[in-house]
């Protein structure tokens, strides 16, 4: 029997698609998914912090002079007070380089992976693929530890057993010309891929992007204090008593952000620095429950703590035998 492939194919596709109808609420689902996508991108950038955050953005502390008005309700005053103090504490501890900020991110149904951004930024890679160009398997870690000190950001992804899965860093390097540039380098161990991209002419202190109430989850992009303050000013949080977190009788700030889900921030009442941030949401078409937990530590830059940071940098050698990604990619690590 001899038949024409194209005709048969055409008939087959006609049969496959016959009676197709658009499901109800498809546009609503698309809108919701867009919101969740924004959150995911923010979460990825929060953990990866990209170029701008690696540069420890300097944000003017315009809100520090804003005192709550006496006519405002007591609860608002308290939140505003916490916000102001937290903002000041973060600015002093992190952004003025007085502390090494260490965060440990983990979660339920929340793997951590790598996303390679092309030259046109995140919009060219909308699906946050968890994959690197040329990698045939996803690189997924169970938890991620980030070190941030001055302009250095080091991110390490670990398996549940504590094995290093990936390392990703942003940091200033000095070029032969004497100029300082920003470099993004790292390795994904399961797939034997490494990257080393140099950004010439990039400011180490770019201006902070304008935040909106729709930006969702507070993150370290462009800075924890900017996003937390924005979230508070948008009315996302209210004070919800005290809870012990890691041995600290922390102030609990509970929030229901516009993107849906819930978020809780615990603040140390002695230092007003964040202790933990959790965000829960229902993501994806199947509305899967996801929880992201970020634990904060702010270490004084003592010799011992700086040695620990250097040990983390040295912990992950990047074998020259690994395949090198083209320079056009920037690699972000984070929740995916």
Partner 1 sequence: MGGTPTGADLERLLAERGTQLMRVAIALAGDREAGEDLLQAALERVLRKPRQVHQDTEGYLRQVLYNLAADGWRRRGRWRQRLPLLRAQASAQATTEAGGGADVVDLRDALVRLLRQLPPRQRAVIVLRYWEQCTEAETAALLGCSEGTVKSAASRGLRQLRALAGTYPDLGFELAEGTS
Binding site for partner 1 (CB under 8 A): 1-6, 8-17, 20-23, 26-27, 29-31, 33-34, 37, 126-131, 138, 285, 336
Among residues 60 and 124, whose Cβ is nearest to partner 1?
Answer: 124
Among residues 111 and 274, whose Cβ is nearest to partner 1?
Answer: 111
Closest CA to 331 of 86, 175, 131: 131
DSSP assignments along 102-155, one per residue:
EEEEEEES--EEEEEEBTTBGGGSTT--S--TT-SS--EESEEEEEEETTEEEE
Closest CA to 227 of 45, 72, 97: 45
Among residues 40 and 276, whose Cβ is nearest to partner 1?
Answer: 40
Closest CA to 207 of 226, 181, 193, 189: 226
Among residues 16 and 71, whose Cβ is nearest to partner 1?
Answer: 16
Cα of 42 vs its chain's centroid, Å: 6
Among residues 83 and 114, whose Cβ is nearest to partner 1?
Answer: 114
Q: How far is the CB of 15 from partner 1 (least distance, A)?
A: 6
Cβ atoms within 10 Å, residue 236: 22
Residue 110, judged by CB atoms within 10 A of its CB (0-12, 13-18, 19+), counts as buried
Among residues 23 and 317, whose Cβ is nearest to partner 1?
Answer: 23
Q: How far is the CB of 284 from partner 1 (least distance, A)?
A: 9
Q: How far is the CB of 111 from partner 1 (least distance, A)?
A: 11
Burial letters for 248-274: b for 16+ Cβ neighbours within 10 Å, e otherwise?
A: bebbbbbbebebebebbbbbbeebbbb
Q: How far is the CB of 10 from partner 1 (least distance, A)?
A: 5
CA distances from 11 to 1, 18, 19 (A): 17, 10, 14
Could you tell me which residues come within 8 angstroms of residue 144 by beta carbon, excluding any fewer than 6 positions away? Answer: 47, 104, 105, 106, 112, 155, 156, 157, 158, 333, 334, 335
Q: How far is the CB of 216 from partner 1 (least distance, A)?
A: 15
Among residues 6 and 70, whose Cβ is nearest to partner 1?
Answer: 6
Burial letters for 201-228: b for 16+ Cβ neighbours within 10 Å, e otherwise?
A: eeebeeebeebeeebbbbbbbbbbbbbb
Among residues 37 and 104, whose Cβ is nearest to partner 1?
Answer: 37
Q: How far is the CB of 257 from partner 1 (least distance, A)?
A: 19
Q: How far is the CB of 8 from partner 1 (least distance, A)?
A: 5
């Amino acid at each position: 029997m001899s038949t024409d492939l194209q005709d048969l194919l055409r008939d087959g596709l006609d049969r496959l698609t016959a009676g197709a109808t658009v499901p109800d609420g498809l546009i609503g689902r698309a809108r919701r998914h867009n919101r969740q996508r924004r959150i995911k991108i923010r979460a990825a950038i929060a953990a990866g912090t990209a170029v701008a955050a690696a540069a420890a953005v300097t944000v003017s502390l315009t809100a520090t002079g804003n005192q709550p008005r006496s006519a405002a309700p007591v609860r608002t005053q308290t939140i505003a007070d916490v916000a102001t103090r937290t903002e000041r504490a973060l600015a002093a501890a992190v952004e003025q380089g007085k502390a090494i900020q260490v965060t440990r991110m983990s979660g339920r149904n929340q793997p951590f992976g790598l996303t390679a951004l092309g030259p046109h930024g995140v919009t060219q890679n909308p699906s946050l693929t968890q994959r690197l160009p040329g990698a045939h398997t996803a690189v997924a870690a169970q938890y991620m530890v980030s070190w941030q000190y001055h302009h250095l950001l080091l991110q390490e992804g670990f398996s549940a057993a504590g094995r290093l899965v990936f390392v990703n860093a942003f940091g200033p390097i000095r070029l032969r010309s004497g100029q300082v540039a920003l470099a993004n380098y790292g390795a994904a161990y399961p797939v034997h891929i490494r990257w080393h991209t140099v950004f010439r002419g990039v400011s180490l202190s770019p201006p902070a992007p304008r935040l909106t109430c729709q930006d969702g989850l507070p993150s370290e992009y462009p800075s924890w204090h900017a996003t937390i303050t924005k979230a508070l000013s948008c009315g996302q949080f209210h004070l919800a008593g005290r809870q012990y977190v890691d041995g600290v009788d922390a102030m609990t700030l509970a929030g229901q952000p516009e993107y849906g889900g819930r978020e809780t921030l615990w603040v140390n009442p002695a230092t007003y620095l964040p202790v933990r941030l959790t965000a829960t949401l229902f993501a994806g078409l199947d509305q899967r429950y996801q929880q992201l937990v970020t634990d904060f530590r702010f270490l004084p830059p003592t010799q011992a703590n700086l040695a620990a940071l250097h040990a983390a940098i040295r912990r992950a050698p990047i074998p020259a035998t690994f395949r090198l990604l083209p320079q056009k990619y920037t690699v972000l690590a984070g929740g995916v």
